[in-house]
Amino acid sequence: MISPELVLHIFKAASISRWNDFPRICNLVELDKQAHKAIIAYFLAKSEKDIDMRFLLDAIVVEFISRVIVTDIRPDVLNEIKKTKQKELDEWIQKQFSLINKNDDFLKIFNDYYNDKTHEKEKFILKAAGYLSTRYEFSFIYPNVSNYKEIKAKLDEELEDYLEILAVQKISLNQKLAKVIDLSGRLRFQKRWAQTPRIPETSVLGHMLVVAVLSYFYCLKIKACDTRFISNFFCAIFHDLPESLTRDIITPVKYGIDGLSEIISDYELKLIDEKILPFVPNNIRAEFAYLLGIYNEDGKIKKDEFKNRINKENVKIIQNPNDYNEDCFNTIDGKMLKACDKTGAFLEAIISNYYGVKSKDLKNGYSKILNDFKENPKIGEVNFYEMLKEFEEFFTNPSQETCGTHS
């Protein structure tokens, strides 16, 4: 599904500081920026017509991985290089990626993206999303630095380039949609494993992107139809959005107290209904509620983002998503997303071990997840237990070569 080498590359984004030559209110990292960019891209795309959402999805993943490759180049320097050496830069990125990738299907997607000349609108939307996420980050830079006004003026001037996109207008005018963008952006302040020292630190916002990328490679493995790809990815990228209102409640607490998870779920529903859905554009509100895991069962509104479900004429809970691998069903593999969520937690713990920051909590955490998958190893065609054993071998014995494949 995905190699340990590529996983390590993805997590490097959590160690890449942004705006690191400026005094900041908080540390800003590339993983969070890319996650916020993906969230914003969804809303921008949904405000436009005739957007190829599958290409946009591929572009989000390709550009994320590419940005980590060129991370040592400052954005302003990178933009200058692109003006005269775009082709050479693209070829270099593709060459560097080939050294860490072991998935032929994704290699084709990666290279096709750099050779594509027909999806200018989708690339423009992603560029606008990147700009808006950068602009959001700038609000956390102290205003007393020497060139603060100069940078602000440039950002304000660049805004005009993207105003043809309706959602950009709404966000820039601080209308309703801006509140959802702000809520998602705040998730960079909520740290995962908050009571345990860990390297690299990851936020809830960054974790959401990791889960989304894992779901992407799962869909690639099982040859999912386009809407299944899209629905799974964006369900993953929004799966912890309510935590911007409730904060992250760790699993041992949530499920260790009888009945607490149901109380939290009901409270999340109330907050979503009051503080999220009213600020989502009317034309996508039902779709967005579906991504958040909201459905009607016997007249009662429930929420569970990790239920297998389809949404053709109405939302229906299903057993086997592979029976609905057609675009018309908008299938979401909830159980797979839960497995990717747990895999993300496993990686957060074991990669810290790889970097030399260890604790009993981290060891117990990833060991428990591994044991859980040992009891129920497969989701669809992917053996998550074998994949995590491969990760464990790579990250606990880094001198050993791994094949990067699994069943």
What is the distance between the alpha carbons of residues 324 and 190, in angstroms, rounded to a whole number? 36
Task: List CB contacts of 100: < 8 A, sequence separation 6 or more.
Answer: 3, 5, 6, 9
pLDDT of residue 405: 41
pLDDT of residue 257: 55
Which is nearest to 212 in space by CA: 231, 229, 192, 237? 237
C-alpha dihedral over 392, 198, 306, 57, to 10 degrees?
A: -90
pLDDT of residue 114: 95
pLDDT of residue 209: 98
Number of domains in the chain: 1
For residue 407, tell me if it sits in a domain.
no
pLDDT of residue 251: 56
Residues in the chain predicted with pLDDT less than 70, given as ranges, are 247-261, 398-407
pLDDT of residue 191: 92
pLDDT of residue 249: 55
What is the distance between the alpha carbons of residues 275 and 291, in angstroms, rounded to a whole number? 16
**Residue 172 gets which letter from DSSP?**
H
Longest dimension (CA), the chain: 62
For residue 163, tell me if it sits in a domain.
yes
What is the distance between the alpha carbons of residues 162 and 305, in angstroms, rounded to a whole number? 33
Long-range contacts at 24-30 (CB < 8 A, ≥ 24 apart): 24/140, 24/141, 24/142, 25/140, 25/141, 25/142, 26/140, 26/188, 26/189, 28/137, 28/140, 28/188, 29/188, 29/200, 29/203, 29/206, 30/67, 30/68, 30/71
First-to-last alpha carbon distance for the chain, in angstroms, is: 8
CATH code, domain carrying 172: 1.10.3210.10
pLDDT of residue 399: 62
- Structural domain including 278 reads 1-402
What is the distance between the alpha carbons of residues 86 and 65, in angstroms, rounded to a whole number? 17
User: In this structure, what are the phi and psi dihedrals at residue 198, rounded to the nearest 5 degrees?
Assistant: -160, 145
CB 342 within 8 A of CB 372: yes
pLDDT of residue 402: 44
Q: Which two tokens stand for residue 225?
A: 């139809």
